[in-house]
Amino acid sequence: MRSLAAPHSFRVFVNSPIFRPIKLPFLTLNPLSSPSRRSPASVQCAVQFRPCIDIHKGKVKQIVGSTLQDLKGGDGSDPVTNFESDKSAAEYAALYKQDGLTGGHVIMLGADPLSKASALEALHAYPGGLQVGGGINSDNCLSYIEEGASHVIVTSYVFNNGQMDLGRLKDLVQIVGKDRLVLDLSCRKKDGKYAIVTDRWQKFSDVFVDPDVMEFLANFADEFLVHGVDVEGKKLGIDEELVALLGKHSPVGIPWFYFHPLEQSFQIA
């Protein structure tokens, strides 16, 4: 049994066995025992390591997502940070390119110029190898594709003022195409259901992650990106209920959660 503890963050790509053929080998993920919580049952799924780069004020960071808020200047407040790297986003992108890691992404956790510049440097270092998200809309989405992004990731622009804006969604598909669009369905528990959250995960929308919504949105996106915001960055492991919901009902692939040394190590059986 080989212990897996990544030196930096990776996401796991969860494929739905119902709607998409699994070509990857099956792995059994067993969370290592922790004195603070009961060890759950093993989860068997097909996985693919997908790297991620989160940028806040130009720096590569791993943060507690629910602590990120807006400021009037649009650059985001100082969140609770688990890790800040001394390496640039471009260095990580070059490393991922060298190692042949595909399907990863770079996320701008703020609209400041430093974060945008850092994200563009990463895209230039790994053309076609990274998705990009953070402030994406119909005015700028194509420019990021032209700068080297494989896909653009969108949340707040589509789930606007708590509602799904179908007109904006169709505009994005018209501009970049369904095969280059990723919808971020990151969510938090509300009244026993998972509500999609927007604006740096601070605002609940009236749209819930459920089988009908996922089936509908799959007509407009190549993938969904989902963070379990209630546990993201808090060293609490995964939201097993959410993972089960996504694995059973999503018609498209879903990159979802971190393997991170500050959160939880896993074993591969």
How many Cβ atoms sit within 10 Å of the Cβ of residue 268? Answer: 12
Q: Is 100 left (phi over 0), alpha (psi -120 to 50) or beta?
A: left
> Which domains does the chain show, CATH number per domain?
45-67+79-266 (3.20.20.70)
pTM: 0.75
The pair of three-digit structure tokens given for residue 209, joined into one six-digit string: 């992650």
In tens digits, what is the pLDDT along the chain, a chain of 269 residues?
333 333 343 344 443 332 333 333 334 344 334 444 444 444 455 567 788 899 989 999 877 555 565 544 444 457 677 678 899 999 999 999 999 999 999 999 888 999 999 999 999 999 999 999 999 999 999 999 999 999 999 999 999 999 999 999 999 999 999 999 999 999 999 999 999 998 877 889 999 999 999 999 999 999 999 988 887 766 667 788 998 898 888 888 776 544 343 333 333 33
- The DSSP-derived string for 214-235 is HHHHTTT-SEEE--BTTTTTTT
Nearest to 106 by CA among 79, 138, 130, 74: 130
Q: Cα separations (Å) of 224 from 236, 253, 256?
A: 22, 7, 9
- E strand or H helix that includes residue 26: strand 26-31
